[in-house]
Amino acid sequence: MSQYRIEAGTGQHIGDRQEQQDRTALFAAPKAPGYMLAVMADGMGGLSGGALAAEQVIRSAQQVFERFSPLTDDPETVLHTIAREADTVIKLSAMSSDKKPHSTVVLLMLTPQNTAIWAHAGDSRLYCFDGPNCVRRTEDHTYLAQLKAENKLDDAKARDPLLANLLVNVVGSTTNDLALSVGRRDGLKIGDSFLLCTDGLWQYFSDAELGAAIAMNSVRQASEMLIAKARARAIPGKADNCTLAIVKLVKQAAEPKDYTAKKMRRAV
């Protein structure tokens, strides 16, 4: 079982947008003590539409995780169920409006067996750190990345910023079927940490900067520092929504020892 305790927190800033379309949340499982779920969603599809899509990702995650039991459910299957249910509801809502809501998603589940399982779609990211060192990072589901994977990327396309921002895999898409990318890390230990964040944050930092900020500070301090620095580095007037969730594995608090002498009850 776990020899660490979990410290986690979230933070966000609206940037220079009219509306905050990012959503993030942390959940415990009522039927599965020791399990936790972190969720990140970056909504798109115009005013209200993007926020609606991201909110549905959070709502689906909460509802599915409340039903989760390790006796009957597999964690990876649960992550797929969350994304699939959100995908279905968002598509149905799009049919009854003139908006095209869709959202990125990052899901991270920690288990008492010292394992982390995650899944994502889009360009919101999950970083896995061992101390300050980044050991894993999700790959963005952009058209540019797809061309690179298919060996179809030439110099002209590589310099096209539109291709870097064009997503090919998101929750609620009416043009492509949802395809989650899944990862895991076993043998979690004290000093490991995870960062879930939208592109309004990660675009301003190197992996090393993110790892150092999280390793050297409390969750609250790191969140405030990263958001403030992202704001400072953004082009004035054009800053995107900025949202993050940090999960750190820290040493268990020592139980206080009680050396107070107590009077013994008289034996009968």
The CATH number that applies at residue 93 is 3.60.40.10
Give the number of domains in the chain.
1
Contact 40, 245 (CB under 8 A): yes
Query: Is 263 a member of any domain?
Result: no
Residue of higher predicted confidence among 149 and 5? 5
Query: What average pLDDT does range 106-132 have in this prediction?
Result: 97
Query: Is 225 a member of any domain?
Result: yes
Q: Is the pLDDT of residue 102 over 60?
A: yes
153 backbone φψ class: left, alpha, beta (φ>0; ψ -120 to 50): beta
Query: Is 231 a member of any domain?
Result: yes
Question: d(Cα 106, Cα 216) in Å, to the nearest integer?
Answer: 24
Question: d(Cα 91, Cα 209) in Å, to the nearest integer?
Answer: 38
> How does residue 157 score in pLDDT terms, banded at 50, 70 and 90?
low
> How does residue 267 score in pLDDT terms, banded at 50, 70 and 90?
very low
Query: Is 256 a member of any domain?
Result: no
> How does residue 95 score in pLDDT terms, banded at 50, 70 and 90?
confident
What whole-number percentage of the chain has pLDDT above 70? 91
Range of the domain at 216: 4-251
Question: d(Cα 106, Cα 117) in Å, to the nearest integer?
Answer: 11
What whole-number percentage of the chain has pLDDT above 90? 76
Backbone angles phi, psi at 195, to 5 degrees: -125, 125
Any idea which residue has 């139980």 for tokens? 255
Query: What average pLDDT does range 192-208 have in this prediction?
Result: 97
Query: What average pLDDT does range 250-265 have in this prediction?
Result: 64
Query: Is 46 a member of any domain?
Result: yes
> How does residue 259 score in pLDDT terms, banded at 50, 70 and 90?
low
> How does residue 151 score in pLDDT terms, banded at 50, 70 and 90?
confident
Q: Which residues face 107 on adjacent strands? A: 39, 119
Q: Is the pLDDT of residue 255 over 90?
A: no
Lowest mean pLDDT among 63-72, 115-124, 143-152, 235-244: 143-152
* pTM for the full predicted model: 0.90
Helices and strands counted in the chain (H then E): 8, 11
Contact 132, 212 (CB under 8 A): yes
Query: Is 23 a member of any domain?
Result: yes
Query: Is 167 a member of any domain?
Result: yes
Q: What is the pLDDT at residue 256? A: 60
| Spatial CB neighbours of 22, under 8 Å, sequence gap ≥ 6 | 12, 40, 41, 42, 43, 54, 198, 200, 241, 242, 243
Query: Is 264 a member of any domain?
Result: no
Q: Is the pLDDT of residue 268 over 50?
A: no
